[in-house]
Structure 1
Amino acid sequence: MCENNMQILKLLSEEVFDFSRDQMVTDKVKSMKESLNGEFSQIYQLCEFVLEHSQKPSLLRVTLQTLQRFLTWIPLGYIFRTTLIEKLVNKYFPAPIFRNEALECLTEIGCLQDLEPQYDPLFRQLFSTFLTRLADIFSPETDLQPAFENGSEQDRYFIQKLALFLSGFFKAHLKVLEVPESHQALITGMFYMVRVSEVKETEIFRICLEAWHMLAEDLYKSEHGAVNGSGPP
């Protein structure tokens, strides 16, 4: 019964926020979003209870999938003032059976942007802890091409989703990571990005190319601004 309820919640979110925008006027979408937002405390309590107490893999996976659908619009307190991120990074991401679903949730969180500066330290902590857990799976020196060629479909899916996480995080929070305390995490993250970029697959190449273009553009603007700023008035 609980698993069926999760499926219904997941489908509801998809219907309202993914597939219905062409059929529903903006005011209607906004109204339904606000209605669900008001009820989300109950939805979150259900998800939290399942993630904390359930031992059933299929229920846990659909719960993570349901959370992923809601993460782009729920109140930020449910993300940053609860144990959600800690559970995703330290409990579910390290477990192979839940890794891809947890990574999709973390990608949604990592791509959140235009937030108040008070959230910057939380994003730094998220990125650093994620890299620590990722190192338990493979090191920044690992050649991922054999794993992509010879691994399972889930392995290939994981590498593609890792490309989305890294590129999305850099696009949204590069400036947040460009501080002394996050220097090593930033360098390590870029080493992982290099390894993912070496995988010979069209979609992964496109994702990484966009990220490298953004990083190169940011570097050029920084250097160009520094040169202009050092010139005569």
Structure 2
Amino acid sequence: MSAPRGNSRAVDYVEVLYGLLFPVGVYRPSEAATPIAARVAERLGVSRASAGEMLRRLDEQGLVERGPGRALALTPEGIALAESGVRATRVIETFLVDMLGYDPAEVHPMAVEMRDAFTPELVDRLHERLGSPGRCPHGWPVGAADERAEAGALRRLVELEAGTRCAVVGVVESDPELVRWLFGAGLVPGADLAVRDVQPAAGHVTVTLGRDELVVGDRAASHVFVTAG
């Protein structure tokens, strides 16, 4: 399902709801935290009034449904739209990095801006031309089914105990400067790490990466998703 041209904000909103309902690491829809207008507004950087009005429109369009109190849920159509938007963004990110040589740190906002011009058919053709990659430059699966299959096994680096070995799967792509730092430090998808020390009071973890030792602040470590063991 694709959003009508000029309705890119609908995709933005359903993607935020999708992320709140199905957070990485806890893909259990019935147990996920209930998103409300205030949380959506915070994620998108808009006022609560603006978020509330847009959510009302999405309800009228059959993309969102309201439950008891202020609970919100995506309809099947809303989920399909969110997953279509995520896939398009990740395919475009891959194109920008692999074909045009852009830095992975800068492509997410560019891809979000560009995707409104891409039909699902164009996204499919671009994906095929790229060699049908399974993951975007930040490590996330291009396909929603693949993401759902692995999401429950992922943990944030900041959550691990000392002595844990892990492999980086993906990094949160929404903060370009943080992505640039993570990639520059070697915390890239596929990197093998060992957690050497955890200091919650000081707000950092220490990891070994190859022969190097790296101190990672809790904020940065919370943006790195890994598989442990």
Query: Is this a same-fold pair by TM over 0.5?
Result: no
User: TM-score, structure 1 length as denominator?
Assistant: 0.30
Structure ranking higher in strand proportion: 2
Q: TM-score, normalising length from structure 2?
A: 0.30
Determine which structure has the larger helix proportion and give its number.
Answer: 1
